[in-house]
Amino acid sequence: MSVQTGYQTPRIDDRDLAFYARLADEHENREPVRDLVVPRIEGRAFVVAKGHILRVSCIEGSQVADFNAFKMDDPKEMFWSGRTRLLQGAHLSVGDRLWSTPPKMRPMFTIIADTVDHRPLPNNARSHDLMYCRCNERLYEVVRGETGAPNCNTNIANAIAEFGLTPDYVHDAFNIFMTTGLDDDDRFFYLEPDAKKGDYLELYAEMACIVAISACPGGSSGPEKRSIGIGIYKPLFDRT
């Protein structure tokens, strides 16, 4: 029987790779644009301009951040977790890209820095998950019999309302700092995040976007729920 393989990861041009590496290394060559905090078990939305760097940080300790993104001038073009998973993998890190929905299906962000120590974990579990979908109120009603539980779907819906977007714009997330795997019974599982206080992920914006982030209230964040730090930076040099 012939070996079956998945889709090939789209190649990034060598000049772009060098540009992303320089962005990640030369912190002195960037200008702060905005800092904000996503409070524990809440969500916030904000704009990231094309060519700017978004940093998502564990400012108090490990905490999962559910990430949604929408093209600024056409929010129907949004992050597509399923296609990103097929093209990049079930867990993302430096050099991976976040892809948008059809018909244009193009990179929205490129990950340029990741300080999490990706140590070996059971069943090849890893951080920065694309396997799980976002949690929502109905999930907790079904699995725990709990009504009105805080959840990422509601957090993101409330956050994007500021930009005139309705709850149906919320989509499955890139789960930053969430540590997940697939067990021997072919079931998804999560562990407490392996990120620590001070860890961050940086993404370079390939287009102007509205970004919404929920400080996930679910069990994947661990027993203590914490705030998430957001930093936006403008590079002081251009892509060449």
- Segments making up each domain of the chain, as ranges: 32-235
Instruction: List the one residue out of 220, 195, 38, 69 whose CA is nearest residue 131.
Output: 220
pLDDT digits (tens, 9 = 90+) for 17-39: 999 999 999 999 999 999 999 99
Which residues face 111 on adjacent strands? 203
Q: Is the pLDDT of residue 1 over 90?
A: no
Q: Is the pLDDT of residue 240 over 80?
A: no
Rounded Cα distance between 18 and 180, Å, is 30
What is residue 60's predicted lDDT score, i.e. its pLDDT? 98
CB atoms under 10 Å from CB of 91, counted, come to: 21
Percent pLDDT > 90 in the chain is: 92
What is residue 3's predicted lDDT score, i.e. its pLDDT? 65
Q: What is the DSSP string of 93-138?
A: -TT-EEEBPTTT--EEEEEEEE-------GGG-BSSBSSSPPP-HH
- pLDDT band at residue 7, thresholds of 50, 70 and 90? confident
Q: Return the higher-pLDDT residue of 149 and 2.
A: 149
